[in-house]
Structure 1
């Protein structure tokens, strides 16, 4: 048991002053007045936040790889451990390993891997994000067109049987997916997300009723907003759909992020869509057969198509504050509470409050990571 003292505690709603966070094992035991600590918990170990910000650990719902590895390349526990170890350097304590467009065999392997891990949350894994292959060729981005296909009854059965404890999100193009399959997936507890889609506003409106609740990387890989055809982007802005957004300055202009946030508020959350170069000096890598270069913070294919990002969650939070202009409180919520709500784990993650998992980050006044606690352990 220990207490984090001398910091501004962000409980998920507001910053609390004069408080400290008491941790026991892997959970937050309490948040109490700092001047009561010695009386209530004599001889407790104290960790000094040095007047920094004490926040929940960041949650990334779209992470393809980092630390030199890609989940698509090696669907193994070792890959997940490397991704988690890399994430922790940047304050990301939980994530969804994201499998992009690939064959059935790899999808089944990914599901089986997550199902086999009783301790998946110990290595930061909250579940799986299956991004494609049930998407639009016209909006495929870096995804390999050879694997893109329509969802069928057999794979709907396989994925839905895994359920929402294993598969947290599946990204599909609504215009190419039968409503009955969306319904089966949604009723199994999986969050169905529109993405890599060329759907019209009306097509999304027609399919949303079957259980679409999320959108994958808003503005990227989707039909654009037009005043006569709002497209997928307009549908997300207008409907009750939550969405991730990549705040790296390459994928979306900061002004567009600012406008989206003004409309969506708590429906908009930060994702990285990161790939293997994060935390390395790699100059290029291969993504399901496509060569992707990494230069000056940008990941791009040989034709210039963006191929994931090199963003980290801490830099995303900093960009939200300094480039987009949201408050620090809201930026932290976009990296913690809002993604937790998007996949319905806010009862254990995304806030600092008694009973929640002790995933904690200490940021300095420059919004830089100073200390990270994962499941109550100082990393």
Structure 2
């Protein structure tokens, strides 16, 4: 299959007058449109001058399309999440399990361990968010389940390794060095989040934290006398940080400031929950009733409980409200998250040998169609 008459964003920059040749689920080559006469035997799709971007990658997705991973840890849930994601240009994601009992962690590990075709339904691995988090910064997480994981559970997570678990979120003050060492050794990205730590507590474990979970939210703020977790992330500059660009979790000016510091280490996440992509008004999140109103998800106390953001809307917000260039907003949804979990050798770019995952967009970032694992699907 050949995709032509498009403005290709290749994960770095825009390239013109170029087509993409796909075979099965891989990109074979990009080629000048002037050479298309050599490929008359190939199915050719005219994209009518649309933007062709790598498929968006969401590294923190609790649910969408009316389902929640914490509620139903099953392949069916993942399939619904993937189908919903595709409508918004997202072709890869990390299903995210928030603080929950050991039984749910084990069930999620077993599910992904035994799923040989998980990438075919968009799953790149798990994001386990908690339970080693701070009560003071728990957000919507259920306090009854917050705890320090046992040695056996850490061994079990590490045994699955990076193929199954891409990210685990922990508060530094609740993370034991021996556990951090084991998780790091297994290739799992340990992410700093839901933490009440001081800068010094982060500094003492700096070698273990390579990611940060929803920057600004559920972490100690930057101050003149106590730099806090935000100050630690800004100071290190080598930590990949996710940010929720929905206008509720962070002021857009704060995102712009963070981008000025972190540059290519800042990537877009949704932290979406079941209402994303639906008109649901409320749902239960690990025992808590959460309401959805005007795009905002919150409990009866006003605490944010995930988001209803979808990836293409996040990209649009970065451009329209944060003022980032279109190319940089697209990088934050494609190549930057790919690098943040070390899959940039296969995902996040339009290059020969890469997985054929694309989002087809108009200039307002509406999704006109997608290509997922080499299969074309038109929406509008």
Q: C-alpha displacement at 1:300, in angstroms?
A: 0.3
Q: Does 1:220 align with 2:217?
A: yes
- 1 CA distance for matches of 2:247 and 2:352? 36
Q: Which runs of 5+ in 2 are unaligned?
A: none
DSSP-derived class of the 1:52 partner: strand
DSSP-derived class of the 1:207 partner: coil
Q: C-alpha displacement at 1:111, in angstroms?
A: 0.3
Aligned to 1:153: 151
- 2 CA distance for matches of 1:159 and 1:31? 40
Q: C-alpha displacement at 1:90, in angstroms?
A: 0.3
- 1 CA distance for matches of 2:340 and 2:155? 23
Q: C-alpha displacement at 1:180, in angstroms?
A: 1.6
Moved more, 359-368 or 192-201: 359-368
Q: Does 1:23 align with 2:31?
A: no
Verify the 8 A CA contact 2:277 2:310 in the aligned structure 1: no
Q: Does 1:327 align with 2:325?
A: yes
DSSP-derived class of the 1:164 partner: helix
Q: Does 1:102 align with 2:97?
A: no
Q: C-alpha displacement at 1:128, in angstroms?
A: 0.4
DSSP-derived class of the 1:49 partner: strand
Q: C-alpha displacement at 1:368, in angstroms?
A: 1.1
- 2 CA distance for matches of 1:292 and 1:310? 12
Moved more, 343-352 or 176-185: 176-185
- 1 CA distance for matches of 2:264 and 2:195? 23
DSSP-derived class of the 2:28 partner: strand
- 1 CA distance for matches of 2:277 and 2:337? 23
Q: C-alpha displacement at 1:152, in angstroms?
A: 2.5
Verify the 8 A CA contact 1:12 1:350 in the aligned structure 2: yes
DSSP-derived class of the 1:259 partner: helix
Aligned to 2:120: 122
Aligned to 1:303: 301
Verify the 8 A CA contact 1:38 1:44 in the aligned structure 2: no
Q: 1:15-61: CA deviations, max 9, x gaps?
A: 1111011111101110000010112x123211112111110000000
RMSD: 0.7
Q: 1:221-253: CA deviations, max 9, x gaps?
A: 101111110101111111121100000000000
Q: 2:362 aligns with which of 364, 368, 379?
A: 364
Q: Does 1:289 align with 2:318?
A: no
DSSP-derived class of the 1:117 partner: coil
Q: C-alpha displacement at 1:212, in angstroms?
A: 1.1
Aligned to 1:170: 168
Aligned pairs for 1:70-109 (under 5 A) are 70-109=68-107
- 1 CA distance for matches of 2:214 and 2:6? 33
DSSP-derived class of the 2:57 partner: strand
Give the number of aligned pairs.
376
Q: Does 1:144 align with 2:142?
A: yes
